[in-house]
Amino acid sequence: IAGITQAPTSQILAAGRRMTLRCTQDMRHNAMYWYRQDLGLGLRLIHYSNTAGTTGKGEVPDGYSVSRANTDDFPLTLASAVPSQTSVYFCASSDRLAGGDTGELFFGEGSRLTVL
Amino acid sequence: GQNIDQPTEMTATEGAIVQINCTYQTSGFNGLFWYQQHAGEAPTFLSYNVLDGLEEKGRFSSFLSRSKGYSYLLLKELQMKDSASYLCATLDSNYQLIWGAGTKLIIKP
Q: How confident is the model at residue B91 (pLDDT cuts 50, 70, 90)?
A: confident
Percentage of chain B modeled with pLDDT above 90: 85
Of chain B, the end-to-end C-alpha distance in Å amounts to 40
Q: How many CA atoms lie within 13 A of B93 on its CB side?
A: 5
Contact A11, A77 (CB under 8 A): no
Which residues face A76 on adjacent strands? Answer: A21, A66
**pLDDT at position B106 over 80:** yes
Task: State how far residue A84 is from chain B, nearest Cα, in angstroms.
Answer: 18
Q: How confident is the model at residue B80 (pLDDT cuts 50, 70, 90)?
A: very high
A43·B87 Cβ contact <8 A: yes
Sign of CA dihedral B45, A48, B25, A109: positive
Chain B residues with CB under 8 Å of a chain A CB are: 4, 8, 30-31, 33, 35, 41-45, 48, 50, 87, 89, 91, 94-102
Rounded to 5 degrees, φ, ψ at B81 are: -70, -10
Which residues face A107 on adjacent strands? Answer: A92
pLDDT (0 to 100) of residue A64: 98
B97·A45 Cβ contact <8 A: yes
Minimum CA–CA partner of A37 in chain B: B101
